[in-house]
Amino acid sequence: MATDDFRAATQAIMTNIEQVIEGKSATVRLALAVLLAEGHLLIEDVPGVGKTKLAKALARSIDCSVRRIQFTPDLLPSDVTGVSVYNQETRDFEFKPGAVFANLVVGDEINRASPKTQSALLECMEERQVTVDGTTYELQGPFMVIATQNPIEMEGTYPLPEAQRDRFTARIAMGYPDPRAELAMLSGHGSHDPLNDLRSVTDAATVRRLIATVRHVHAADAVQQYAIALVTATREAPEIRLGASPRSTLQLLRTAKAVAALEGRDYVLPDDLQALAVPVLAHRIIPTADAQLNRRSTDAIVAEILHRLPLPHERNRSPYDTRPSTGGTQYEARGL
């Protein structure tokens, strides 16, 4: 896809979402980047700050199939993936697809459901397929799960299993709106919900082309090495009991490519990785008991790792040099 076409399509999506979500441009941009990186998004914050509204606005901006799941304690895994039902007329079992059979799946309050039901999303999020009664069903692309959850301190919540959290490319927090945005919300939402007036500005075919463009964004050897160094540091940090997985390295670089493309570049900078380290890595790690007793958040731990980690770069070359490597690869550390 041409650069101008890419910019026009992505800007139309962001502008459309910002008609509903005001004063959160960075959050909207990151949500779109996760979509273009073929990832999944976890939105965590207190009730009432617009988590579900952001998910719905992104889904409605694209003319594709959308399904919503309201996670509750009595929700069954078959409600999510589907179930085989016996047909007395044909004397055979027929598969009834569940809510995940859509391009965009909005999971509201995912941590209200039991861990068994939460785990029903594992296969479809990683492999883009669902297996029911020994039969595998492919999911259509693009496929993205946008889940919202309340902080685990809230009553009636179940913490997401480690494997489930690791499948979410990024975790973002909405935060409270500033007074100006909240005043605009009062004016705009007073008579009607602007979400009802939102219209799609692109379709699934265009999104697939956008994703293909992001895949071709270049990441220099030094930038890839820096991504590995970031993830490795989470495994070696004394404050962390469980570090980020190799899957997180791949998703960190993919999302950085999407951010670079949204910035109008066809190459990734170390700055892209630094900006994404907290939203992509923090929700995957588990701090030690001492760190938890000291109430140190995983966001703060990852931010400290960023601060003290030297920036690897190819010897005699800048980490901002996007040209492919021409010889043997040797790396040395340079302080940030």
Q: Which residue has the higher pLDDT, 96 or 323?
A: 96
Structure tokens at 226: 């820096």
**pLDDT value at 313 more than 90:** no
User: What is the per-residue pLDDT for 328?
Assistant: 41
**pLDDT value at 60 more than 50:** yes
**pLDDT value at 230 more than 70:** yes
What spatial distance separates the first Cα and last Cα of the chain, rounded to whole Å? 35
- Average pLDDT for residues 45-56, to the nearest whole number? 83
326 band by pLDDT with thresholds 50, 70 and 90: very low
User: What is the per-residue pLDDT for 141?
Assistant: 84
Pairing of strands 62-63, 202-203: parallel
- Average pLDDT for residues 24-53, to the nearest whole number? 90
**pLDDT value at 231 more than 50:** yes
- Average pLDDT for residues 68-93, to the nearest whole number? 89
**pLDDT value at 319 more than 60:** no
- Average pLDDT for residues 200-205, to the nearest whole number? 91
User: What is the per-residue pLDDT for 30?
Assistant: 94
User: What is the per-residue pLDDT for 253?
Assistant: 97
For the entire predicted model, the pTM comes to 0.86
**pLDDT value at 312 more than 70:** no
User: What is the per-residue pLDDT for 181?
Assistant: 78
Backbone phi, psi, residue 334, to 5°: -130, 130
**pLDDT value at 315 more than 60:** no
- Average pLDDT for residues 185-211, to the nearest whole number? 83
Class of the CATH domain delimited by 217-336: mainly alpha
330 band by pLDDT with thresholds 50, 70 and 90: very low
User: What is the per-residue pLDDT for 327?
Assistant: 43
Output DSSP code: residue 160: P
Convert the pLDDT of each residue in 93-113 to its tens digit: 889 999 999 999 988 889 888
17 band by pLDDT with thresholds 50, 70 and 90: very high
Residues 6+ apart with CB under 8 A from 220: 267, 268, 314, 319, 321, 322, 323, 324, 325
User: What is the per-residue pLDDT for 329?
Assistant: 42
**pLDDT value at 8 more than 90:** yes
User: What is the per-residue pLDDT for 35?
Assistant: 95
Task: Please give the Cα distance from 256 to 249 (Å, whole number).
Answer: 11
**pLDDT value at 310 more than 80:** no
**β-sheet bridge partners, residue 102:** none
Q: How many CA atoms lie within 13 A of 88 on its CB side?
A: 0
Tokens 């951010």, residue? 259
The Cα angle at residue 124 between residues 120 and 128, in degrees rounded to 5: 170
Task: Please give the Cα distance from 105 to 80 (Å, whole number).
Answer: 10
Task: Please give the Cα distance from 71 to 149 (Å, whole number).
Answer: 10
**pLDDT value at 333 more than 70:** no
Q: Which residue has the higher pLDDT, 187 or 278?
A: 278
User: What is the per-residue pLDDT for 259?
Assistant: 96
Q: Which residue has the higher pLDDT, 131 or 186?
A: 131
Name the average pLDDT for the chain: 86
Q: Where are the domains of the chain?
A: 217-336
**pLDDT value at 279 more than 70:** yes
Please, are residues 170 and 42 in contact by the beta-carbon 8 Å criterion? yes
Please, are residues 327 and 316 in contact by the beta-carbon 8 Å criterion? no
